A and B are shown apart, each in its own frame.
Chain A
Amino acid sequence: MEAIIIIEVSDQHGKIVERYRTPKLPIRIGRAYDNDLIVDDPYVCPHHCEVVLNEAGEIVVNDLSSVNGTYAMADGSRSGQFPVDADSRLRIGHTMLHFKLPDQAVEATRFDHTPLHQKGEWPPRLLSFNIAVLLLGALVMTAKEYLGSYNMFEYWRYFFSQQIPALLAVAGWAAVWSIISRVTAHRFSFFRHATILVSILLAITMSDYLLDFLKFGFASQGPFEVISIGLSMVAIALLLFWHLRLCSDQSRSRLMMGASAFAVVFVSLVQINDYLDSQEFHRSPLYPTNLKPPAFQIVKSEPVDDFLMKSEQIRKKIDQEIEVLPTAEHSQGVVATRPEK
């Protein structure tokens, strides 16, 4: 029987601190410097235990009357002697010993889904491209502000009061993700994280702006609201997916599934909240107020009478709503017109 074994030594957090390959058996384990395997753990005795080959050719761990004892990880039992085979785990002091045999199979090689130079990855690793996206974001934001304003447009005032805070917010967001990806995947990628956020914001801003024109042009909200909800789900899913890809080596499909699930749940919750709010009582009518230049009218205008005819539908709905109400008539008692005696 091959007497060579490998001992993985890990600390109390499970982090492997050493892999020790025995040249021969027996070996002694402990804190003292005359041991074969020196364990740096104050709860381990100078001579804590030994690993030997017994007469039957089995590998056995003997406790050397240690203060804190030797335990099996599997059931927590303390013993003076443990037979050891592949994948046995013992605990001495605060240290874990994981026994491996040289011929033991290891996990298949994991495929790297985010190699450093993959074509078509988003966002590209090109710094100049990332900066271009950020500038485009700033430009679109300014254009939107300019078109939405109807007084003197003072760019510098706008720059300091809105654009700088927006820039700081983007930087903050990118910094948080950069730190996460640094810890989990050893990539800082600050500009790429910033590009992800800005590109998504750009897409949302422009699609909302376009949808506003369609809502106005067709004098219709519903269908475009649905499109808008769909787009925001996609946007949130992509945002999360791209950030996570820089933070994790998990497969694309798993990340996409996770991100999509989050987006669907998030957008649904917001929609449910909006729906419940719309069911609340409002003093004022909630009619659409978005207006565009006359040229963007798409459907034809109708005559006054045709338009007014459509109120009949509203009236029916209101009547139905009132009919189902409990009749709250408090006619009995004090307040009634009474006949004169």
Chain B
Amino acid sequence: MTTMIRIALCVLLALISSHAIAASSSNSAQELFERYRDSIIQVQITNKLSGERSALGTGFYVSNDGLVVTNYHVVSLVVQKPDNYRVEIIHRDGSKEKPDIVNFDIINDLALLRTETKPVNPFSLAIEPLRKGARILSLGNPNDLGMTLVNGSYSGNLENSLYERIHFSGTINQGMSGGPAIDEYGKVIGINVATSGNGVGFLVPAKFGVQLIDKTRHDQKAEGVMENIQKQLWLNQERFMGTLLTGEIPVSPLGEYMLPDRIAPFMHCWGDSDKDKKDMYEVVTRVCSSRQDVFIDEDYSTGQIFYRHKYIKSGQLNALRFSSLYEATLSDRLPTDGDEEYHTNFRCNDDFVDNGSVNMKISLCLRGHKKVHGLFDMTLVAVSLQKNNSGMQTSLLLTGVSYENAQKFARKYLKAISWKQ
């Protein structure tokens, strides 16, 4: 009974609030929607063998000559497997058209399509940022329910993010990906790209759309898909590794050790500790992650950094039993996704290493990217061998970087570790 009331109450509240929003902005939102609704299209990916659709998204016209912007992840199946999938756009009147995929920006998850249709009212992209709190409307086709507009507000660029994104306080649903988010004058502020649920949405800043269009109009050279992806991934890793390799690695204490803390602003760290009354030991953990990565294909995401430290201590276990515990705490896997199509197997080196402060056993493993030559994933696992009943273990994962950058970072990371004594 109580649950039902609560649900009913929620529905009621939702109705009231949506009414309130609709009332305050219905005129301009209505006008904007009327003006631009022919410039928003649905993007549909169809599997050639089954004839059924495999992905849906939204796109919008940005020029009179028929250029459409959408998300790269909406059309990624066609880019990666053109023999198995085809892309179609569906206009408001239901007519279908087969566009060309002209260019894409995998780092910012954008793709540019060209159609024969010449729209009357294409969108224009804004480069200037808005003030925080400004109202924006996100347009798209959520869950294939027809074109919808979602009210929300501009919450500025995500702080401390590896890849620049606008924080949109509004609900972005599946299928709205690639749709425009516009200000009250109808200028595109960003492109719908992701959500973390509960009214937290993310937009790709419109400036990246502008850059992609400019680049496409000026580049005269035709390029292969993987060549294009390789170039983008390479520049991207140079950019973020540049940040990671600049300056000293900040360290903070974990047990008796000083260990890398938040290496760059885009790293996010959490801490935890584990000690039961029944346990004969305690484990303190710190995990840092860049959280974001670059999506290329369902089985291929890259460009992330993750590390985890553990400090393990026991007053009661003897040396041999402690080493059993030490083995068990080392068994946590690193989040190494991957697929045979894109990655080689890892190959590893392991040895005892002394960095001047801590004696460690280290395993360094590398694997190559099969389709993007010169990029590697690295795991580094270092375990201190200082005392019989306490120690630290650190595991690092760095994906989609050059061998030289991986080496430089491994060196810096290992040299940052010290023992407080």
- Whether the pair A297, B383 counts as a contact (CB closer than 8 A) is no
Question: B21 near A: Cβ within 8 Å?
Answer: no
- Whether the pair A294, B226 counts as a contact (CB closer than 8 A) is no
Q: How large is the interface on A (under 10, 10 to 19, 20 to 34, 35 or more residues)?
A: 35 or more
CB under 8 Å from chain A, chain B span 200-254 = 216-228
- Whether the pair B346, A285 counts as a contact (CB closer than 8 A) is yes
Given contacts A150-B322, A284-B333, A335-B79, contact A307 B348 (CB under 8 A): no
- Whether the pair B346, A308 counts as a contact (CB closer than 8 A) is no
Does more than half of chain B's interface fall in helix, strand or loop, or is it mixed?
Answer: mixed
CB under 8 Å from chain B, chain A span 285-300 = 285-295, 297, 299-300
Number of inter-chain CB pairs below 8 Å: 200
- Whether the pair B414, A310 counts as a contact (CB closer than 8 A) is no
Closest to A293 in B: B319
Instruction: Spot the interface stretch: B50-58, B285-293, B324-332.
Output: B324-332
Question: A274 near B: Cβ within 8 Å?
Answer: no
- Whether the pair B225, A335 counts as a contact (CB closer than 8 A) is yes
The interface residues of chain A lying within 8 Å CB-to-CB of B226 are: 329, 331
The interface residues of chain B lying within 8 Å CB-to-CB of A339 are: 219-222
Given contacts A150-B281, A335-B79, A337-B102, contact A294 B224 (CB under 8 A): no
Closest Cβ of chain A: how far from B84's Cβ, in Å?
A: 11
Given contacts A152-B280, A283-B337, contact A331 B224 (CB under 8 A): yes
> Which one of B101, B331, B336 lies within 8 Å of A335 (CB-CB)?
B101
Report how far A293 CA is from B386 CA in the complex, Å.
9
The interface residues of chain B lying within 8 Å CB-to-CB of A110 are: none
The interface residues of chain A lying within 8 Å CB-to-CB of B221 are: 337, 339
- Whether the pair B376, A302 counts as a contact (CB closer than 8 A) is no
Given contacts A291-B383, A337-B228, contact A311 B83 (CB under 8 A): no
The interface residues of chain B lying within 8 Å CB-to-CB of A293 are: 319-320, 322-323, 388
- Whether the pair A334, B321 counts as a contact (CB closer than 8 A) is no
> Which one of A152, A304, A313 lies within 8 Å of B353 (CB-CB)?
A304
The interface residues of chain A lying within 8 Å CB-to-CB of B78 are: 334-335
Given contacts A315-B403, A337-B102, A337-B221, contact A297 B352 (CB under 8 A): yes
Q: How large is the interface on B (under 10, 10 to 19, 20 to 34, 35 or more residues)?
A: 35 or more
Given contacts A282-B346, A314-B347, A318-B344, contact A337 B388 (CB under 8 A): no
Question: A108 near B: Cβ within 8 Å?
Answer: no
Closest Cβ of chain A: how far from B195's Cβ, in Å?
A: 27
- Whether the pair A334, B371 counts as a contact (CB closer than 8 A) is no
> Which one of B228, B322, B363, B410 lies within 8 Å of A285 (CB-CB)?
B363
The interface residues of chain A lying within 8 Å CB-to-CB of B403 are: 311, 315
Closest to B113 in A: A334
- Whether the pair B224, A329 counts as a contact (CB closer than 8 A) is yes
> Which one of B222, B319, B364, B386 lies within 8 Å of A336 (CB-CB)?
B222
Question: B2 near A: Cβ within 8 Å?
Answer: no
Instruction: Spot the interface stretch: B22-30, B132-140, B259-267, B354-362.
Output: B354-362
Closest Cβ of chain B: how far from A126's Cβ, in Å?
A: 34
- Whether the pair A151, B279 counts as a contact (CB closer than 8 A) is yes
Closest to A330 in B: B82
Report how far A284 CA is from B340 CA in the complex, Å.
12
The interface residues of chain B lying within 8 Å CB-to-CB of A297 are: 352, 359, 385
- Whether the pair B324, A150 counts as a contact (CB closer than 8 A) is yes
The interface residues of chain A lying within 8 Å CB-to-CB of B320 are: 147, 292-293
Question: B366 near A: Cβ within 8 Å?
Answer: yes
- Whether the pair B340, A294 counts as a contact (CB closer than 8 A) is no
- Whether the pair B350, A219 counts as a contact (CB closer than 8 A) is yes
Question: A103 near B: Cβ within 8 Å?
Answer: no
- Whether the pair B370, A325 counts as a contact (CB closer than 8 A) is yes
Question: A305 near B: Cβ within 8 Å?
Answer: yes
The interface residues of chain B lying within 8 Å CB-to-CB of A284 are: 333-334, 336, 346
Question: A301 near B: Cβ within 8 Å?
Answer: yes
The interface residues of chain A lying within 8 Å CB-to-CB of B333 are: 284
Closest 4 CB pairs of A and B: A331-B224, A285-B346, A150-B325, A287-B363
A/B interface sample: 19 pairs, CB < 8 A = A150-B281, A150-B317, A219-B352, A283-B338, A285-B336, A285-B348, A295-B319, A301-B359, A303-B355, A304-B355, A305-B411, A308-B407, A311-B407, A314-B347, A315-B403, A325-B370, A337-B216, A337-B222, A339-B220
Show the binding face of B for A, using Cβ within 8 Å: 78-79, 82-83, 100-104, 216-228, 278-281, 314, 317, 319-328, 330-331, 333-334, 336-340, 343-356, 359-368, 370-371, 373, 376, 379, 381, 383, 385-388, 403, 407, 410-411, 414-415
Q: A152-B280, A285-B346, A291-B326 are in contact. List 16 more A-B contacts (CB 8 A).
A: A219-B351, A282-B345, A284-B346, A285-B336, A285-B365, A287-B379, A288-B350, A291-B361, A294-B359, A300-B352, A301-B360, A303-B353, A314-B347, A329-B225, A336-B223, A339-B221
